[in-house]
Amino acid sequence: MPKTPTILLPAHERLLVELGENLRLARLRRRLSAEQVAERAGISRSTLHLMESGASGTAIGKLLQVLAVLGLERDITRLASDDVLGRKLEDARLTETRKRAPKSPKSPKKSPASPNQP
Asked if residue 62 lies in contact with residue 38, where contact means CB atoms within 8 angstroms, the answer is no
Q: What's the structural domain count of the chain? A: 1
pLDDT by residue (tens digit) across 71-86?
A: 998 888 887 778 888 8
The whole-model pTM stands at 0.67
The pLDDT of residue 60: 87
Does residue 21 sit within a domain?
Answer: yes
Does residue 87 sit within a domain?
Answer: no
Q: Which residues have C-beta within 8 Å of that of residue 20, sequence separation ≥ 6? A: 51, 52, 53, 54, 55
Does residue 44 sit within a domain?
Answer: yes
38, burial (CB in 10 Å: exposed 0-12, middle 13-18, buried 19+):
buried
Counting DSSP H helices and E strands in the chain, the numbers are 5, 0
Does residue 81 sit within a domain?
Answer: no
Query: What CATH number is given to the structural domain containing 57?
Result: 1.10.260.40
pLDDT by residue (tens digit) across 42-99?
A: 999 999 999 999 998 889 889 999 999 999 988 888 877 788 888 888 888 887 766 7
Does residue 97 sit within a domain?
Answer: no
Q: Supply the range of the domain harboring residue 20.
A: 10-75
Does residue 89 sit within a domain?
Answer: no
